């Protein structure tokens, strides 16, 4: 969530595009519901792009090779512990055009949340993260509500620092600090809460 808001604050045109999508599909007479998320493809694009750039865990959980095999010309003996560096896959210029740039539009037209084995923020296959569905619903709904209800801006003209801190879960080096105010379109609804 912190990475998504940081990216949005550094790209205010993306917030406006997402607000427009929400205004058209949901309106301003009610808050977004979980069932609305499937009708908000641009919001899903924002989530995909955020998870591509800043996956919750840059390395997938370790696996063990079940038999001897050759991968990319390398001999992998049976029982070898294997780690998949999804951060490197998500930033590979052979797979992604301009891989370090925040560009939610790269996921427009994608059915669902994945793009084959190029995008796998929760792993893949039968051992993928069991919390994927919950995480996408909770973060999608929360981010959607924050976009729907508030106008966001940086506290200064400086861009939000996107430096990653060391750790297993890729925290931001500097915590996000931002300003928000209720959107004019949503004030009547927010006053009723």
Instruction: Provide the annotated binding site for heme.
Output: 129
CB 160 within 8 A of CB 176: yes
Bridge partners of residue 117, in order along the sequence: 115
How many Å apart are CA 143 and CA 124, to the nearest integer? 24
Q: Which residues are annotated as a binding site?
A: 129
Using DSSP's 3-state secondary structure scheme, residue 134 falls into: helix
φ/ψ (deg, to 5) at 151:
-95, 130
Instruction: To the nearest 10°, report the CA torsion of 172, 178, 182, 186.
Output: -30
How many Å apart are CA 151 and CA 136, to the nearest integer? 23
Bridge partners of residue 150, in order along the sequence: 182
Distances, alpha carbon 135 to alpha carbons 5, 169, 185, in Å? 16, 14, 28
């Amino acid at each position: 969530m912190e990475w998504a808001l940081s990216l949005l604050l550094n790209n205010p045109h993306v917030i406006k595009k997402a607000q427009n999508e929400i205004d058209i599909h949901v309106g301003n007479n009610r808050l977004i519901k979980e069932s609305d998320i499937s009708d908000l493809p641009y919001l899903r694009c924002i989530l995909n792009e955020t998870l591509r750039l800043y996956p919750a865990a840059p390395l997938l959980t370790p696996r063990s090779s079940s038999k001897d095999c050759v991968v990319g010309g390398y001999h992998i003996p049976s029982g070898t512990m294997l780690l998949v560096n999804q951060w490197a896959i998500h930033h590979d210029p052979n797979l992604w055009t301009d891989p370090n740039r925040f560009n939610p539009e790269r996921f427009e037209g994608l059915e669902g949340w994945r793009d084959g084995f190029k995008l796998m923020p929760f792993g893949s296959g039968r051992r993928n993260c069991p919390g994927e569905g919950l995480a996408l619903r909770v973060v999608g709904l929360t981010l959607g509500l924050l976009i729907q209800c508030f106008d966001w801006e940086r506290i200064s003209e400086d861009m939000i620092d996107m430096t990653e801190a060391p750790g297993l879960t890729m925290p931001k080096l500097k915590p996000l600090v931002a300003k928000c105010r209720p959107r004019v379109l949503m004030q009547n609804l927010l006053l009723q809460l």
